[in-house]
Structures are given as C-alpha cells and as structure tokens.
C-alpha cells in the first residue's frame, strides 16, 4: 500500500514551456514531428535526445518543467500524442506529472504533491498522479483527473479522479490528448483506452474569454520520488498567430444581424462531402454565440453547389452540407426549432461556372437571421 506523501510548498524555478510551435492553422492539419529546440526547460528537466525529456530524476524534492515558445489558440483543435514513463518504483514512487494550460509562459507552481501545478491561476491541468494523498481526495490507485486554477484537491476537479492501471512499471505508456473546440470536448486516452473526458467551454469558464494560452508539462517529487520522462510523437495544434480573423467579427456579422444573407469564406468542407473542415468551426462557434445573444432570432441555412456533376446529386450534397452546419450548431446548444436547413444545389449561381474561381464562389453555404412571424 502506498504511504502518504508529506506536502511541500517549495517553489520550482521558472517553468518549462512545452506549448508546441508546430502545425496547423485552422485549415488543414498536417502531423509533424516535435522539434526539441522549440522547448524551454527549467528546474531539473533535461533533454535526453530523440524528442524526449526527463522531467525529474529519481531524487527527493526534484522538479522540472518544459514550455513551448509560442502560445496556442484554444479556438482551434489540437491533438497530442506522446509516450510517458513515470518510473520504476511503485509503492515508494512519487509524485506524478501535470499537462498545464496557462496564459503566461514559463511558470511553475509548488512541487511535491502540487506537481508543479498548484498555485497557477487561471489554469487547466491534466494530472497523472502516482501517489496517495488521502487529504486531497486521492484514490488508492494511480489516477488521472482534470484540475483547474492550481487546485490539486479533488473536491475542485472538473473530471475524475479516475483510477488507471499501475503506471510506475518502468515502461513507456502511450498518451493522447485531444481538444475539439466545436463540441467543447476534451478527451484523454492512455494506452489506446479513454480514461478521461470533459465537455465544457474552457475558454469562457477557465480562461475568462482568453483563448491564447501556453501549454506545458510539469512534474515533481517529494520525500518519495521516481524518474519521470516523456517523448513527443505527434503534435497538432493551432498557433495563436496563425488563426484567421473571424468574418463574423466584421461587416458580415453586422449584415447578418441586419437580416441580410451572407456567406462565409472560412466555412469549408472536405471535397465532395458534408464533413466540416477545422477552419469552419471557429466561425460557427462565433455564429452560435451571436444566436445565444439574440434568442428571439431564427437562422436559415442555405446550401449551394457548382454545376459539376449530376444535378440531383448536387442538390443532395447542398442539403447535407446545410444540415451538417445545423447539426454542429445544435451541438453547441442552439435549439433545432431555431434552425432551418435547405439545399438548392446548382440552381442559384453567383458567378460563372465556366471558371474555377466562379465555381469556388458557387460552392457556398449562406445564412440569414430573421424574427419569427407572430
């Protein structure tokens, strides 16, 4: 049985920022290998080669962290795949690691049971804890939890703590973290099994409307210890400086509220399908917010195509795309009674179908806000 760890309130040196400067702006996501030169390390963290970092040695009162040099934007999706190794000591191993989102770079909280996360506010932390602190509400097993605002007591957890199999087994374990801003869904997999899921507007509720944050990993030991390491495999995210300005923040948003029909260049689908591309979701998130601020308005969604292919198939595709937009907005809490989706196929072109540029303009989804007739 694991023993209780003695709390520590000694500060780590300024933290390591691991937010990654890699890939996709809100359109296409291309998986890239992490570049270890994009990371700042602090405390006891050291590079061990091949995109790997040792956060703590197996010494008492050790602490390390890593922060990437550019912020990410949580209005865009991300996916992180890595391998974590939390040491070879089971009964006497401590303390664990936390994946941290925080508005400021290179910051770290208290070590020991705080694992470098305690005291950071506002913040979001994905905790993988290998030590039993009964006074914090820890379960007996190794566990995972979603924490907020530097609070490590599970009374304040957003999700968990969920028990996980023993992870202090001297082996690497596959960890995947995914964020979908459209559905406000955060999910975590360990060894290909989902171990934690949370749905909520973390930009609004945690970061007070600030979507630009740094991302890092912190780790610490106390009176008991373990060697704690990680290796990056795939990092996909939206850099804060890559996110396109929202069209609905400008004149198109005003025209929409004035009852005019508008189309959005940022609204894109996979070729020949009704699957929304990531670039579309930030714009639709904002559209949902406009509708929440104007609860009396209804939204008409009109799908259109060019004239390439069969007219009947084009009409069906335009309808499916309009319905896909409606489904996405319903997932954001907009009631179905406020949405109407229609497909017009190739009937109403706004440009010549004889030119590629014209066909691109004709492949569109249009929106109109209106008040219901009493």
Average pLDDT on 277-301 reads 87
pLDDT single digits (tens) 50-83: 789 999 999 999 999 988 888 888 877 888 899 9
76 vs 278: CA distance, rounded Å: 7
Residue 16 has pLDDT above 80, yes or no: no
Residue 202: which of 102, 287, 120 has the closest Cα? 102
The DSSP secondary structure of 123-192, one letter per residue, reads -EEEEEE-SB-GGGT--SS-EEEEEETT--SGGG-SEEEEE-----SSS-EEEEEEEETTTTEEEEEETT
What is the sign of the dihedral through the CA atoms of 140, 142, 146 and 151?
positive
pLDDT of residue 244: 65
- Residue carrying structure tokens 């006497």: 92
Fold that domain 247-370 belongs to in CATH: 60s Ribosomal Protein L30; Chain: A; (3.30.1330)
**Is the pTM higher than 0.75?**
no
pLDDT of residue 7: 34
Contacts with 373 (C-beta within 8 Å, 6 or more apart), sequence order: none
The mean pLDDT of the chain is 84
Residue 3 has pLDDT above 60, yes or no: no
73 vs 24: which has the higher pLDDT: 73
292 vs 245: which has the higher pLDDT: 292
Read off the tokens for 323.
């319905």
Residue 3: which of 225, 228, 227 has the closest Cα? 225
Average pLDDT on 322-343 reads 93
Average pLDDT on 232-254 reads 77
* 122-to-102, 142, 179, 228, 361 alpha-carbon distances in Å: 7, 26, 18, 25, 43
Domain ranges of the chain: 36-236, 247-370
Residue 25 has pLDDT above 80, yes or no: no
Residue 32 has pLDDT above 60, yes or no: no
276: helix, strand or coil: strand
139 vs 130: CA distance, rounded Å: 10
pLDDT single digits (tens) 341-355: 999 999 999 999 999
CATH architecture of 36-236: Sandwich (2.60)
pLDDT single digits (tens) 138-177: 999 999 999 999 999 999 999 999 999 999 999 999 999 9
């Amino acid at each position: 049985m694991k023993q209780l760890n003695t709390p520590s309130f000694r500060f780590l040196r300024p933290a390591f920022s691991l937010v990654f400067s890699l890939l996709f702006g809100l359109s296409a996501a291309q998986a890239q290998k992490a570049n270890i030169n994009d990371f700042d390390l602090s405390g006891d963290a050291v590079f061990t080669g091949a995109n790997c970092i040792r956060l703590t040695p197996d010494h008492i009162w050790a602490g390390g962290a890593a922060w990437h040099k550019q912020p990410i934007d949580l209005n865009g999706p991300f996916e992180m795949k890595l391998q974590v190794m939390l040491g070879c000591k089971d009964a006497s191993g401590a303390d664990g690691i936390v994946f941290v989102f925080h508005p400021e770079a290179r910051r770290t909280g208290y070590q020991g049971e705080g694992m470098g996360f305690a005291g950071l506010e506002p913040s979001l932390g994905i905790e993988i804890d290998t030590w039993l602190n009964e006074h914090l509400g820890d379960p007996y097993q190794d566990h995972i939890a979603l924490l907020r605002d530097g609070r490590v007591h599970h009374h304040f957890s957003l999700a968990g703590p969920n028990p996980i199999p023993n992870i202090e087994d001297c082996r690497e374990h596959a960890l995947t973290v995914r964020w979908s801003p459209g559905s406000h869904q955060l999910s975590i997999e360990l060894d290909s099994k989902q171990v934690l899921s949370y749905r909520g507007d973390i930009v609004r509720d945690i970061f007070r409307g600030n979507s630009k944050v740094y991302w890092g990993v912190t780790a610490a030991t106390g009176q008991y210890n373990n060697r704690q390491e990680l290796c990056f495999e795939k990092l996909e995210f939206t850099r804060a400086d890559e996110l396109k300005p929202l069209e609905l923040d400008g004149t198109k948003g005003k025209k929409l509220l004035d009852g005019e029909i508008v189309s959005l260049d940022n609204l894109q689908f996979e070729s020949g399908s009704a699957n929304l591309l990531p670039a579309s979701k930030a714009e639709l998130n904002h559209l949902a917010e406009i509708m929440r601020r104007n609860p009396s308005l209804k939204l008409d969604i009109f799908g259109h195509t060019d004239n390439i292919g069969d007219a009947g198939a084009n009409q069906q595709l335009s309808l499916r795309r309009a319905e896909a937009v409606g489904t996405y907005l319903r997932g954001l809490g907009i009631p179905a009674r406020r949405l109407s989706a229609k497909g017009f196929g190739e009937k109403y072109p706004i440009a010549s179908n004889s030119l590629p540029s014209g066909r691109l303009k004709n492949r569109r989804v249009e929106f109109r806000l209106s008040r219901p007739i009493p």
